[in-house]
Structure formats: C-alpha cells, structure tokens
Amino acid sequence: MHIHLPWSAPLLLALGTWLIYIADRILDVLRGGASGTLRERHFFYARHRARTLGVGALASLALLWLIFMRMNPAARREDIVLFAAALVYFCLIHVWSPQSQSGIEHWFPKEVAVAIVFAAAVAVPAWSRIQGQRILLTPLVVLFSLLCWLNCVAIEKWEKSEPPSSSHARASSSALPHLSTRWTQRHLPLVACGIALLAVIAAASSIVSAAPVVMTSLYLASTVSALLFLALDQSRLDSFDLRIAADAALLTPLLLLAVPR
C-alpha cells in the first residue's frame, strides 16, 4: 500500500499475538481439555507456567508502552475495538462455555474467530493509514482470513491422528469440532482449491483494473499458500511437522519482497 510502517507496528502485532496465544494455551489446560484433546504444546506451557507468566508480564508492560507511546492514534482506536471483540469471545470460551451444555463454539467456531481477529489485526497498521483506499485492501484481508481459517482447520484435522499426550489429557468424548469445521476437514482439498481459485480471480481482476503490481503479487502469494495446504494434506509428514509447515505456508509474501513497488 506504499506505506512506511514504524518498527513498532510488527512488534506490537507479535507481542499481542503471543500473549493471547500463551493465555489460551494455559487456560485450555486449566479447563482440563474440555474443548478437545490437549497436545504437547499445551503441556509445555503448563510445565513452564511460572516462567511463562513472568516473561508474559514483562511483554505486557512493553506492549502497553508501545500502545500508548508509539502507536498511531487511529490504529490504536481500531485495535481497541478489535481487542474488545476478541476479549468477549475469549471470555465466552474460557468462562461461559465450561459452565454451559452448548458453548459458543457450537454455533461460532473458534477457527473462524481466530482467523477474523488475526487477519484484521495484521491489516490494522495499513488500514488505519489509508482512509481513501481501504476498498483496495478489503479483498486481501478477506482472502488472508480465509487462509488463516484453513490453517486452523487443517491443523485440527492433521492432529486427529496424533495420540493424546499421556495421562494429562482429559478430553471430553462429546467435544467435537463445529459442523463447518468437520465438513471442511473432510473436503480440505476442495476448499483449498476453491480459495486458490478465488485468489487467481482476484489477481486477474487486479491486472485488468491496473491495480498496483504489489497487490497482484499478494493475490498470487495467496494462491501459492492455498495450493501449499493442498500439497501438505496429501503429504506423509507427521502432525508435528505439518503444524509447522501450515504456519510456514502463510509466509509466501516473503517470496515477493523483490517485486518493484
């Protein structure tokens, strides 16, 4: 978008994402696996909870300083709205759902919530600085949220074959993913191809409309990401390697850093 972002923008995103991640992992363990089978990544944070909370407290102080001292005011306002929405959903999952027979995940899957919040958070630094060009960024944000959703759904699918982590896991036998998640897992190659096709159509439209070359490149990067999920689903990698590869599949824009701006 031809925007010069300060060094604090990616650092804000990294710190905020990590803090939410470790809080989610620790609370999952405290709930005893009510939302599904716990994995080694959960128990890692359980074993090192004291140290993690100590580092997390320091990271929180750094995050607050960045928010109030270095953050763009427009981005801060939009991030506050986004954080409030995420916090409400977070509380519904970890506070209300354990007390309810039908928690929020039964009608609004966590994979969708994570995808929307993360994609929006990634977009905020640019979104808040391009008041008159937001229409250009909107399709990219939607496409990236679809890829984030596919990432979460694919990891959930691939980990189904992974045995529960020793006797620590006390997963509920009735805890099943949302209906949309289960359908997508059964038809993951079809969904990946569908997202790739959407990205190709967007790239073609971008070329026809003479949009900036970088926009077209990002659509093509999204196509590659979707096809990587298709390839990974057909691979023989174990669930641990697949989880790493699923996150790496979202880094395809790095391949296009050399594209002239």
**Could you tell me if residue 3 is inside a domain?**
no
Mean pLDDT, to the nearest integer, of 105-132? 84
pTM higher than 0.85, yes or no?
A: no
pLDDT band at 244 (very low <50, low <70, confident <90, very high): very high
**Could you tell me if residue 261 is inside a domain?**
no
| 160-216 residue pLDDT tens | 765 554 434 444 434 567 788 888 889 999 999 999 999 999 999 989 987 778 889
- Asked whether 192 and 150 are in contact (CB, 8 A), the reply is yes
**Percentage of residues in the chain with pLDDT exceeding 70?**
85
**Could you tell me if residue 81 is inside a domain?**
yes
**Could you tell me if residue 82 is inside a domain?**
yes
- Asked whether 113 and 89 are in contact (CB, 8 A), the reply is yes
**Could you tell me if residue 1 is inside a domain?**
no
Number of domains in the chain: 1
**Could you tell me if residue 186 is inside a domain?**
yes
Burial code of 143-168, b = ≥16 C-beta within 10 A, e = fewer?
bbbbbbbbbbbbbbbbbeeeeebeee
Domain around 34: 8-256
Rounded CA gap, 187 and 208, in Å? 32
| 13-22 residue pLDDT tens | 899 889 988 8
Q: Which long-range contacts (CB under 8 A, 24 or more apart) does 236-242 make?
A: 238/162, 239/158, 239/159, 239/161, 239/162, 240/162, 242/154, 242/155, 242/158
**Could you tell me if residue 108 is inside a domain?**
yes
| 52-96 residue pLDDT tens | 999 999 999 999 999 888 888 888 888 888 888 888 877 777 666
